[in-house]
Structure formats: structure tokens, C-alpha cells
Amino acid sequence: MSLTLHYHPLSSFCWKVLIALYENGMPFTPKLVNLGDPEDRAAFLKLWPIGKFPVLRDEARDRTVPESSIIIDYLDQHYPGPGRLIPADPEAARQTRLRDRFFDLYVHLPMQKIIGDRLRPADKKDPHGVAEARAQLRVSYDMVERQMTAGPWAVGEDFTLADCSALPPLFYGNQVEPFGPARKNLTAYLERLQARPSVARVISEAEPYFRMVPKEA
């Protein structure tokens, strides 16, 4: 099989790529990487010295493709499925990429800041940074709440890259900074995402690892 995805099933950015792969039924070989294992870690760093998940290896085209958005863009170009994850129309494609960046930068990163802080030793906690991250999430939630009046998905009627990006941070974000009852559109959007077969499969595969997610002290 040409495509190999180097990933971990608990990694939220890996979820984004897995959703895209499952959405279009793209055949690939999953390569679970345990960074705690010296041999696994060394092999992964040789492939991608930055050491961040996910990384796609395409043997047929002799390409190593890092970064979740770039991987999905690459797949959509070279291994398109029945549904385009990045629209052919330039304006729609630009809006899709904008929403993708929005979810990555203003929902995903602050969510990771909150969870990551739980892993720090007691004397290395960053309460100010966590408070800033929570404030950013609330602003982002309100923006998505307004945006979701326009259609069932992030950019209207079609499921796209933007929706692949939305699920992981909204799923985890609602656990660390709950949406609250007032954000009905946002809550309904997350429910639609979780009901989609590609998303449900990703979450199901990650469930055995949920015990590893750090809890609030």
C-alpha cells in the first residue's frame, strides 16, 4: 500500500487527518508511533526531525508529507475521493482554508494549552496562560456559534477540510471549557460531527486511550 500514516490515536491533530482518510475511503497503512519507545522515536525522528504528529509517507510518489492541513491538501490533490475536502471553486477553497486555520489556531491551540498545562509539575504551572487560553476559547466559541447559522457544516452544505479541523478541538475543548447551554448552534454542530461515520470511527478507535488524557487536578 502506497500511503502510510505515522500517528497516535489520541493525538487531536491526527484525528483531523484520519477523518479525511475515512471520509473518502482512502486505503492507507496506519503506523502507530510510541514516542516513549526509543526505537520508535528514533525511526520517527529520522522521517520527520521535528517529531510532531501526524506524518504521511507516500512511497509511490516518494514524498514525506507533514502537518495535518498539508496532508489533507495533498490527499485531496493526488488521491481524491468521492467528496472533495477542498472545493474546486477558488473563493470557496479560500473560505475553507480560512476556517481550517481558525479552528487550528484559535480553538485547537488554546485547548492544547489547557490540557498541556495539566502535565506540568506543580511548580511549573502557567495559570495566566491557561486563563488566556480559556478566554480565547470563549471568543472562538461565540464566533462559531454565529457562523453555524449559515449551514450544517463549517463552510455551508458540504463537509470539508474545515470540518475535519473542527471536530478534534471542539470535542476536547467542550471537556476543558464547556460550551454552556447558550451556545445551541455550536452544540448542535458538534453533535452532527460526532454522528458522521468517519468521525465516529476515529473517536471509537481513540476510546481505549482516553484514560491517558490528563485530568484537571
If one compares 135 and 216, the residue with the highest pLDDT of the two is 135
d(CA 173, CA 197): 21
Per-residue pLDDT, averaged over 128-150, amounts to 96
177 three-class SS: coil
196 Cβ partners below 8 Å, 6+ apart? 23, 159
> Is a pLDDT exceeding 70 seen at residue 217?
no
Tens digit of each residue's pLDDT (9 = 90 or more) over 46-57: 999 999 999 999
Per-residue pLDDT, averaged over 204-208, amounts to 94
- Is 135 within 8 Å of 56 (Cβ atoms)? no
Per-residue pLDDT, averaged over 66-79, amounts to 96
How far the first Cα of the chain sits from its last, in Å, is 44
Per-residue pLDDT, averaged over 99-106, amounts to 98
> Is a pLDDT exceeding 80 seen at residue 147?
yes
pLDDT score for 108:
97
Per-residue pLDDT, averaged over 169-184, amounts to 97
Torsion sign across C-alpha atoms 90, 95, 100, 102: positive
Residue 30 corresponds to which amino acid?
P
Which three cell numbers mark 5? 500514516
Tens digit of each residue's pLDDT (9 = 90 or more) over 19-46: 999 998 989 999 999 998 999 999 999 9
pTM of the model: 0.94
pLDDT score for 215:
80
pLDDT score for 8:
93
Across all residues in the chain, what is the average pLDDT? Answer: 95
pLDDT score for 83:
83
Per-residue pLDDT, averaged over 103-132, amounts to 95
What's the pLDDT band for 81 if we cut at 50, 70, 90? Answer: confident
Within the chain, all domains assigned CATH 3.40.30.10 are found at 3-78
pLDDT score for 1:
61
Note the CATH number of domain 90-197.
1.20.1050.10
Within the chain, all domains assigned CATH 1.20.1050.10 are found at 90-197
Distances (CA, A) of 214 to 113, 116, 147, 152, 157: 12, 8, 31, 32, 36
Any idea which fold 3-78 has? Answer: Glutaredoxin (3.40.30)
> Is a pLDDT exceeding 90 seen at residue 104?
yes
pLDDT score for 150:
81
Side-chain-side CA neighbours of residue 122 (13 Å) = 1
